């Protein structure tokens, strides 16, 4: 956490190329700032925007430049499912694997009414496995299966996973 903050303090006017969301004290504020920048640059109303996510195939060290209209984030883990990078979609988890590290995710602000819902699972993101009060936001994950399958399986994304 200290390393990320130190790097950010060295260049306070620029967002890091990849931000580790799990190291943010208040990840909701970081996501809100993405929406605020979009609202200002595109002349949109802030309360009509939401965060849309797109999982890339990249690991943090492979990202060289910042995304133009949003932010690259890392530090997310899937619980009760896994991300299939080859097919770019949500799949069933492997046996005896509790958590799956998600590749770099692009977070963008879009109008709520234009948020894609077909072939998408709206996945709640929590800071910890405690869930409830640790809710951060809803991520949009591509899926070939009905979204209800993942809801019934209790699939969530976490910023902090227990040591296994």
In the structure encoding, which two tokens stand for residue 34, read together?
Answer: 């993405």
Average pLDDT over residues 99-103: 98
pLDDT in tens, 130-162: 988 999 999 999 999 999 999 999 999 999 999
Mean pLDDT over all residues of the chain? 93
Cα dihedral sign, 56-73-161-30: negative
Number of domains in the chain: 1
CA dihedral 10, 16, 18, 24 (to 10 degrees): 80
For residue 143, give the CATH number of its domain: 3.10.490.20
pLDDT in tens, 39-66: 999 999 999 999 999 999 999 999 999 9
Does some domain include residue 163? Answer: no
Does some domain include residue 164? Answer: no
Confidence of residue 16 (pLDDT cuts 50, 70, 90): confident
Does some domain include residue 28? Answer: yes
What's the CA gap between 74 and 124, in Å, rounded?
A: 16
pLDDT value of position 63: 97
Does some domain include residue 105? Answer: yes
Q: Which domain holds residue 89?
A: 2-158
- pLDDT(164) > 70: no
Reported residue count of the chain is: 164
Nearest CA among 27, 6, 66, 2 for reference residue 159: 27
Confidence of residue 163 (pLDDT cuts 50, 70, 90): confident
Does some domain include residue 60? Answer: yes
What's the CA gap between 82 and 78, in Å, rounded?
A: 6
Does some domain include residue 108? Answer: yes
Does some domain include residue 97? Answer: yes
């Amino acid at each position: 956490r200290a390393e990320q903050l130190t790097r950010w303090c060295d260049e306070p006017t620029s967002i890091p190329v990849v931000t580790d969301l799990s190291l943010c004290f208040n990840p909701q504020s970081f996501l809100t700032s993405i929406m605020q920048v979009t609202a200002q640059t595109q002349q949109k109303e802030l309360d009509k925007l939401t965060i849309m996510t797109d999982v890339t195939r990249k690991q943090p060290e492979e990202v060289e430049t910042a995304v133009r209209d949003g932010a690259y984030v890392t530090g997310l883990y899937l619980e009760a499912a896994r991300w299939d990078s080859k097919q770019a979609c949500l799949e069933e988890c492997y046996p005896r694997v509790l958590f799956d590290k998600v590749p770099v995710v692009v977070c963008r602000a879009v109008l709520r009414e234009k948020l894609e819902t077909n072939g998408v699972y709206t996945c709640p993101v929590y800071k910890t496995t405690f869930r409830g009060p640790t809710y951060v936001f809803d991520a949009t994950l591509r899926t070939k299966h009905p979204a209800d399958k993942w809801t019934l399986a209790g699939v969530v994304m976490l910023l902090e996973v227990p040591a296994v």
